[in-house]
C-alpha cells in the first residue's frame, strides 16, 4: 500500500512535470511554427517587384503575402503580430548548392552528392537523399536563405537530379517544392572518371551526345522504354526539364551550348568561371547562367574565376543568378548572401546583386510564380536585416518561410 502511494505520487509528479514541459514546448513551438498573421515593417523594403519602399509594410496571412505597401497605405490589423526590421527583403534563393545531400561533417556517411560507380546516372533522385534537418540547411536559413536549388554535385558526366526545397520542414516532403528540377551534368576536368570513360573532354561530349540520341530515338517510339533512365531522359528531350551543365572553362561552356543546340534541349549554364571570356557567345545562346561562388579557391578549371563575372554577364543582358556552389573542402557551404555582397562590391551593385539571389534566381529556376519577390499571393518568405544586408557587420535578424518565423537568431 505504501509502495502504491509512493508510486502514485511519483506518477503525479512526473505527470505535472510532463505537463509543464508540454506547456513550455507549446509556447516555444508555436513561436516558431505557427503560420500566424504577421505584419513585417521595414525602414527599407526591397520588394524586387518595383522600387524599394521606404517605411514599408508586408502583411502575411495563411502563409502567403496579403499586402505590400507603405506604412501610410497599409492599416495593420490589431491582431497581427508586428515584426520590425531595418531592411526587409524577399527570402533569399541559393540557385545551386549541395546542402542537404552533402553534410557538414564531411565524412563518407554524410556525403551523398556523388555516386562514383558510374559516369552517367540521371535517374538518381535528389529527393531520395535530401536531409531536411541537416545542420547546414539551418545554417544558411539563419542568414535569410529560404529556398535552395540543391542536389547531386558536379563531378560526373551526369551525377543525378536536382530538386528545389524550402529551408524549412521536418522532412523532405515538407521541404520540397520541385522534386525534380534539373539533371546535374558536368563538363571539363571535373567530369573525368578514374579507370573508365570519360577520360577526356571530347569523350565527355561524345558520351553525352550518345545518351541524347538514345533518348531521342526512345521518345520517338510508339512504345518507349519505361526504365528510370529512359523516363527522365525523355523529359529532357521533351524540354520539360533542363540539364544543369556545370562548365567552368571556356571550351566547356562552348561545348554545352553546342550540344544544347544540336539536340534542341533546355540547359542552364552553371559555374561558368570563364563566362567573362565568352560573354557574346553565352548571350547569343540565350541560356541563363548560375555563376559559381567567386570566393572559391582559384585553380584548375577555375583558374580565371573573377569577382566581376556576374557583373560582366548581367550587363550584357544575360539572366544571372548566384550560388554557394560546390567545393570538396571547408567551408562545406558558402553563404550566397556573402557571394552576392562580393558581386555587389565588384561591379554588379546592390540592387542587381539582390536580384541575383531573389527574383532573377526564381525566374531561372522557374519558381517566380511562388517566390523571389514580395508580391500579393506569393509565399510569405522574408529575410530581415539590421542594416545593409551585404555588409560583413550587418546581421540577419529573422527569417520567415511560408508565413512562419523559422529563425530569430541574430546571425
| Binding interface with other proteins (CB under 8 A) | 103-107, 135-136, 139, 276-277, 294-295, 297-300, 303-309, 329-335, 338, 341-342, 344-346, 390-395
Identify the residue whose cell numbers are 551543365: 245
CB contact set of 40 (below 8 Å; sequence gap of 6+) = 57, 58, 60, 83, 84, 85, 88, 382, 384, 400
Question: Shortest gap between Cβ of 307 and other proteins (angstroms)?
Answer: 5
Question: Shortest gap between Cβ of 344 and other proteins (angstroms)?
Answer: 7
* Other Cβ atoms within 10 Å of 28 Cβ, number: 10
CB contact set of 154 (below 8 Å; sequence gap of 6+) = 184, 186, 190, 191, 246, 270, 271, 326
- When the beta carbons of 299 and 317 are compared against other proteins, the nearer one is 299
Q: Tell me 198's DSSP state.
A: -
Distance CA 59, CA 257 (A): 43
- When the beta carbons of 56 and 154 are compared against other proteins, the nearer one is 154
Sort residue 169 into left (φ over 0), alpha (ψ -120 to 50) or beta. left
Question: Shortest gap between Cβ of 406 and other proteins (angstroms)?
Answer: 18
Question: Shortest gap between Cβ of 168 and other proteins (angstroms)?
Answer: 18
* Other Cβ atoms within 10 Å of 177 Cβ, number: 16
Distance CA 289, CA 62 (A): 34
- When the beta carbons of 56 and 325 are compared against other proteins, the nearer one is 325
Question: Shortest gap between Cβ of 97 and other proteins (angstroms)?
Answer: 11
- When the beta carbons of 242 and 398 are compared against other proteins, the nearer one is 398
Question: Shortest gap between Cβ of 193 and other proteins (angstroms)?
Answer: 19
- When the beta carbons of 19 and 105 are compared against other proteins, the nearer one is 105
Q: How far is CA 96 from the centre of its chain?
A: 5
- When the beta carbons of 232 and 305 are compared against other proteins, the nearer one is 305
- When the beta carbons of 1 and 329 are compared against other proteins, the nearer one is 329
Question: Shortest gap between Cβ of 17 and other proteins (angstroms)?
Answer: 31
**Phi/psi at 27 (nearest 5 deg)?**
-60, -50
Amino acid at each position: 500500500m505504501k509502495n502504491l502511494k509512493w508510486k502514485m505520487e511519483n506518477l503525479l509528479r512526473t505527470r505535472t512535470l510532463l505537463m509543464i514541459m508540454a506547456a513550455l514546448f507549446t509556447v516555444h513551438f508555436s513561436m516558431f511554427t505557427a503560420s500566424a498573421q504577421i505584419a513585417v515593417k521595414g525602414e527599407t523594403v526591397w520588394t524586387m517587384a518595383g522600387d524599394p519602399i521606404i517605411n514599408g509594410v508586408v502583411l502575411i496571412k495563411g502563409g502567403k503575402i496579403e499586402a505590400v505597401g507603405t506604412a501610410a497605405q497599409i492599416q495593420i490589423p490589431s491582431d497581427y503580430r508586428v515584426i520590425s526590421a531595418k531592411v526587409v527583403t524577399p527570402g533569399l534563393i541559393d540557385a545551386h548548392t549541395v546542402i542537404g545531400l552533402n553534410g557538414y561533417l564531411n565524412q563518407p556517411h554524410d556525403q551523398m552528392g556523388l555516386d562514383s560507380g558510374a559516369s552517367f546516372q540521371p535517374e538518381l533522385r535528389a529527393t531520395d537523399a535530401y536531409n531536411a534537418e541537416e545542420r547546414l540547411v539551418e545554417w544558411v536559413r539563419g542568414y535569410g536563405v529560404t529556398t535552395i536549388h540543391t542536389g547531386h554535385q558536379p563531378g560526373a558526366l551526369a551525377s543525378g537530379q536536382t530538386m528545389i526545397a524550402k529551408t524549412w520542414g521536418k522532412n523532405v516532403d515538407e521541404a520540397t517544392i520541385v522534386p525534380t528540377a534539373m539533371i546535374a551534368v558536368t563538363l571539363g576536368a571535373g567530369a573525368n572518371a578514374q579507370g573508365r570513360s570519360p577520360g577526356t573532354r571530347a569523350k565527355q561530349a561524345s558520351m553525352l551526345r550518345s545518351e541524347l540520341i538514345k533518348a531521342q530515338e526512345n521518345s520517338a517510339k510508339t512504345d518507349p522504354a519505361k526504365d528510370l533512365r529512359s523516363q527522365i531522359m525523355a523529359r529532357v528531350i521533351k524540354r520539360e526539364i533542363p540539364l544543369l551543365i556545370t562548365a567552368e572553362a571556356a571550351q566547356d561552356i562552348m561545348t554545352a551550348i553546342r550540344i544544347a543546340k544540336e539536340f534542341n534541349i533546355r540547359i542552364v549554364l552553371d559555374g561558368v568561371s570563364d563566362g567573362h571570356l565568352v560573354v557574346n557567345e553565352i548571350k547569343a545562346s540565350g541560356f541563363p547562367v548560375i555563376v559559381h561562388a567567386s570566393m572559391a579557391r582559384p585553380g584548375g578549371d577555375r583558374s580565371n574565376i573573377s569577382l566581376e563575372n556576374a557583373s560582366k554577364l548581367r550587363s550584357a543582358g544575360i539572366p544571372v543568378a548566384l550560388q554557394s556552389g560546390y567545393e570538396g573542402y571547408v567551408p562545406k557551404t558558402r553563404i550566397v548572401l556573402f557571394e552576392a555582397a562580393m558581386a555587389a562590391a565588384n561591379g554588379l551593385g546592390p540592387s542587381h546583386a539582390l536580384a541575383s539571389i531573389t527574383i532573377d534566381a526564381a525566374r531561372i529556376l522557374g519558381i517566380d510564380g511562388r517566390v523571389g519577390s514580395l508580391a500579393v499571393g506569393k509565399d510569405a518568405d522574408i529575410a530581415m536585416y539590421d542594416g545593409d544586408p551585404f555588409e560583413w557587420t550587418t546581421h540577419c535578424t529573422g527569417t520567415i518561410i511560408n508565413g512562419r518565423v523559422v529563425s530569430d537568431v541574430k546571425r
